[in-house]
Amino acid sequence: MKRAYYSKSIQDYLLDTESSILGELTANHSNRSLEELQINAWRKQINILKNQLRGFEGQIYFEFAIPRMGKRVDNILIINDIIFVIEFKVGDGGYEKYAIEQAIDYTIDLKNFHEGSHHLKLIPVLVATNAENYKEPILNVINHNSVAKSNQYNIADTLKTFINYNSKPVNIEYWGNSIYKPTPTIVEAAKALYKGHNVKEITRSDSGTINLSKTTDCINKVIETSKSENLKSICFVTGVPGAGKTLAGLNIAVERMKADENEHAVFLSGNGPLVDVLREALTRDEVLTAKDKNEKVTKKQAAIKANAFIQNIHHFRDEYLKDEINAPIEKVVVFDEAQRAWTKHQVSSFMKRKKGVEDFDMSEPEFLIDVMNRHSDWCTVVCLIGGGQEINTGEAGLEEWISSLKNHFPNWNIHYSNSILNSDNYLKSENSKNWLVKNGISEFELHLSISIRSFRSEKLSSFIHELLNIKTENAKNIYSEIREHYPIIVTRNLDKAKDWLRNKAKGSERIGLISSSGARRLRPLGIDVKNEISAPNWFLNNSQDIRSSYFLEEVATEFDIQGLEIDWACVAWGGNFYMNNTDWKYQNFKGTKWQNINKDIDKEYLKNTYRVLLTRARQGMVIFIPESSTQDHTRPSEFYDRTFEYLKKIGIKEIG
């Protein structure tokens, strides 16, 4: 992929004509119906930079791609030891907050994901052409808390402020050829894929990792074979938390839509907040994209299209409860978080209470396979399975999918990874494992083993696994490896936790407060887990919106945030799960007091809740463990102090 629309040495750029530069920019622009506004902005930009860059040596780039964000930065200048990331606002008379965030976002993206930029000095610069002179404190800019602010007349002076000619200059050739290894959020990825970007453009492709494109290729092969040989197939895609299972599923759905629209590929999820957030993100993005192209697309039109692509699994289920005969229109169905599909008991109870159906006797996995089995020729089901991710009563896990296939659909082709057999997070029954080995087809590429959510540390999920299993020495060793790259801190003071988040986040990096839905006695501290949030507002709205995660007022629970992520999180630890000497204590709050949880399955759900919460942050987290209260009998010291000491024993530092 060509990184920039135009790239030359500064000396050659100064000798190049305006028409030649404009011609190259226009030729490389993907949208042939370029707006006059864009051409005029380029023209102004070219002339300003020609005037301001006299006497400088280095390299200039126009419209440099930032793939993870699906955008391009106006200019990059490499001068001696500095990479200047320049955002132009032609005609602006002030330094707007959104523009400052945009320049910082581009800079941080390069710093984090562009290999050649990891250890270099990157300086964000905002050029508001008609603004007043303003000198931003240098340290603010270097630390990416703000940007260097310039108008059209003092760009040269702004650049000189940061250049150190005694330092070793950037190797421009190495920098330009360095690989870009982005790890997009699921929202960013969904928008990019929906727009037609290839998964290889927006995700990392490190050698040694099973990347998403290999998983996609494997599933595409299964689909094509099923189609040509009239087979019914099911693929189980497993992976560690944050490994990109949802991204892999979205990619398959998008690719099959492009390959053959008659397959009516659909992405289904029982995760209501995820569905709401992705639909709203795709809808908003399509409206904005159309506006940029000077086209008219209403929000309602965009929503209809997005809602057809991403559907709630329960609506799909209910549709085929009403129609008990016909096969669905969809030939390829991707079930996200398939481990959360309900057991027979849970579905039966729900059908009786909510639908008035008295004698429903199938689990959700059995029913969903049964619906697809109505096809007379072929179909393919893709199940995305998170190990140790079941967090609610009645969630069946992979065990029920295997049981349904074994007992009711013996003719289906089953594709899985051996990782299912090697971990108790997926199948606990030896009978199920043995049956799968005899009747399934092992595919190496169907397991995603490396977390791409926490790009700062691929070992985060392993650390959390050891921490929750009280493997203290293992946890301590892994933490010592990750703490430089993935900061984790602990505190007993909520205000300190919030300040830590605000100080860590740069640009539009998202911060948020998250907690277990069972942490009911955090309410005296202003954390009310019973208060429902609007997931699209919390995850998508900007830092000026009091409903957004940025305000650290509304708390998201495991049900709101599973399958999604934020950059920096405060995990508020509740009294429902605490260290009691050498083991965890599991509790529910009912009425006015705590009650012990005794069932092993319910204990597993609660532990998985904290697994989900502790793996949601991409860049780092603060764990808030409250102080006890002598006035409140529901908040004794034993609920908090030993947990706090356990985390410190592992090596997690307390905020000073």
pLDDT of residue 455: 65
Q: In terms of domains, do 82 and 18 share one?
A: yes
Instruction: Give 595-644 pLDDT, tens digit per residue.
Output: 999 999 899 989 999 999 999 999 999 999 999 999 999 999 999 999 99
pLDDT for the residue 588: 96
As a whole number of angstroms, the distance between CA 597 and CA 584 comes to 11
In DSSP terms, which residues pair with 268 in a beta bridge? 311, 335
- Give Cα 234 distance to the centre of its chain: 25
**How many alpha carbons fall within 13 Å on the CB side of residue 22?**
15
207 lies in some domain? no
- Full residue range of the structural domain in which residue 115 is found: 4-177
- Say how many residues make up the chain: 656
Please check whether residues 60 and 150 belong to one and the same domain: yes
The reported pLDDT for the residue numbered 28 is 87
Mean pLDDT of 126-135: 96
Residue 485 and residue 388 share a domain: no
Query: Cα separation of 399 and 365, whole Å?
Result: 10
Cα–Cα distance measured from residue 88 to residue 41, given in angstroms and rounded to the nearest whole number: 9
Looking at residue 182, its pLDDT comes to 72
443 and 474 in a single domain? The answer is no
Is 368 a member of any domain? yes
- With respect to residue 162, please indicate whether it lies within any of the assigned structural domains: yes
Query: Quick check: 614 and 621 in contact, CB under 8 A?
Result: yes
| Rounded Cα gap, residues 510 and 516, in angstroms | 20
Where does a domain end: 398, 423, 448?
Answer: 448
Residue 229 lies in a domain: yes
pLDDT band at 358 (very low <50, low <70, confident <90, very high): confident
Distance (Å, whole) CA 614 – CA 573: 10
| Beta strands 488-491 and 511-515, pairing class | unpaired
Q: Looking at 448, 478, 502, which one is the last position of a domain?
A: 448
CB 89, CB 73: distance < 8 Å: no
Residues 431 and 525 in one domain: no
Asked whether residue 376 is assigned to any structural domain, the reply reads yes
- Quick one: 442 and 471 in the same domain? no
pLDDT at 425 over 90: no
**Residue 244 · residue 452 · CB < 8 Å:** yes
Q: What is the pLDDT of residue 369?
A: 96
Mean pLDDT of 540-564: 95
Mean pLDDT of the 303-326 span: 87
Listed range (22-36, 500-514, 545-559, 633-647) with the worst mean pLDDT:
22-36
241, pLDDT greater than 90:
no
**Region of residue 96 (left: phi > 0; alpha: psi -120 to 50; beta: else):** beta
61 shares its domain with 104: yes
Judgement on whether residues 615 and 501 belong to the same structural domain of the protein: yes
CA angle 192, 198, 201 (to 5 degrees): 85
Percent of the chain with pLDDT over 70: 94
Model pTM score: 0.82
User: Structure tokens of 593?
Assistant: 């007091």
Question: Do residues 439 and 587 share a domain?
Answer: no
Please indicate, yes or no, if residue 570 is contained in any of the structural domains: yes
pLDDT at 209: 42
Shared domain check, 501 and 355 = no
Residues 355 and 440 in one domain: yes
Residue 206 belongs to some domain of the structure: no
Q: Map tokens 């707006």 to a residue.
A: 35
Q: Which of 448, 475, 497 is the C-terminal boundary of a domain?
A: 448
Name the range with the highest mean pLDDT among 35-44, 68-77, 336-345, 613-622. Answer: 613-622
Beta carbons within 10 angstroms of residue 438's beta carbon: 7
Answer yes or no: do 349 and 482 share one domain.
Answer: no
Across the chain, mean pLDDT equals: 90
Domain CATH code at residue 612 = 3.40.50
Domain-located, residue 56 = yes
Quote the number of domains for the chain: 3
